[in-house]
Structure 1
Amino acid sequence: MTAPEETASSPTPGRAVPCGARFRAAVLELAAARGAAVPMLVAAALLLAPKGGADPGLRDPEGEALLEVGETDASDGTIRKALAAALALAGPGARILPGEDVRRLEAAVETLGYRNKTLAHALQRLSFQPLDGRITQVRDAAQLFGFVNEWCFDEDQVRRRFRELAPVYHPDTGIVACRERMGQLIDARNLLVRHVRSVYGSGDWMAQRGGPSV
């Protein structure tokens, strides 16, 4: 009895990723320099490349090309991004930080974070407590802005002081984020600006400050 003839299965062809011609040449050059086949380079790049990055695209100034990358489930764009990162790291200007440098940077970041928390805590203790309701009295608005009375500032000083205080209390980005305080700062600024403009127009401003009336 004759045994059934075995049929040799043909190897599955690898994937070809569309890319720019110059990009393909650079990848082939890098693979040759590393003594590795392109599929091995692709596998390593996919493992080590940082997330994100720009896709170099399907073409470059030298035209379009196809790059054989072997078998991988990654998308074409992901492969191009990973290889672009590998090319960037292989460039003469790239520098991979030693572990000791990384640890120093991490320690510096941790120290800065601690200092920011300490500063925020100090500002929280020093910052004004919101008054009850809206700011309706000029003397309260002046005190809120740190002025000793309602006659010792002009409009430029009011606006400058507001620009100094607003980043501290802004409800979204402030160090001592507080929507109520921010609202009262806005009320105080508007009240003080109206106050300055009204008394300047009446001539009372210079009289209260001890100067000649205009």
Structure 2
Amino acid sequence: MPDDSALNYATANHKNDAISINYKKSQSYIVPCSSSFRDRVTAFADSQGASVADLARSVFLLVPNETVMATDDPGEPAPDDREVVKLQSGPSKGRTLRRKPRLQLRLPIGYDIARLRRALSLALKMADGEKMLSVESADDRKKRSDDQVARTRLEEDIEQLQRIIGDLAFEPLREGISSRSEALHVMGFAPTAVPDQKAIRGRYRRLALVFHPDSPFGDHQRMSQLNEALEKLTRA
């Protein structure tokens, strides 16, 4: 049985560019796992007309290594989870042996046992619909990147507009509106201005677009005083 430490040629962080695998040489891996996990993997491989090694190889070819390593390792079997096998050759032929359940697969040298379990677990998750494999072209990736850049710029523009509007917006009157000059101030007119009704309502509509609570720059207090100002100026 290969020793796990002798099979681990990968560095501790398991990055793709840090994994050295000799593709010209292969070896047999013994992967200890629970009997239920073993049975699910072998049943899935059989249903696809493939071997367990084919499943692991497919995952390593198609899925980024960070995704594989982010998958939970099903781990070693529990102490009471053992299989009984009868030795078929050697001096102990005919004897029965209790051992850890396992999967055996042949792959290039250099894979870590836990990484193999993770890859097979990910294959099961994808088969069950728990995980999805997304395939996108270089154009798709560029468009997604461009969209993200545009979204970031738009968010920055909105933040800048919010700051500008906050600086330019009228200061809400503590005691509310009690005079025509205060109503004109809230509407953005000079205190001595005499705007007609069309100008007043036009200014109200534009300011309401800014201060309405549903807008990105909404301000309930300012909107409330804007309504007060409109009522006072249209009533006068």
Higher RCO by CA contacts (8 Å cutoff, separation 6 or greater):
2
The interval holding the TM-score normalised by the smaller chain is 0.3 to 0.5
Q: TM-score, normalised by structure 2?
A: 0.41
Q: TM-score, normalised by structure 1?
A: 0.45
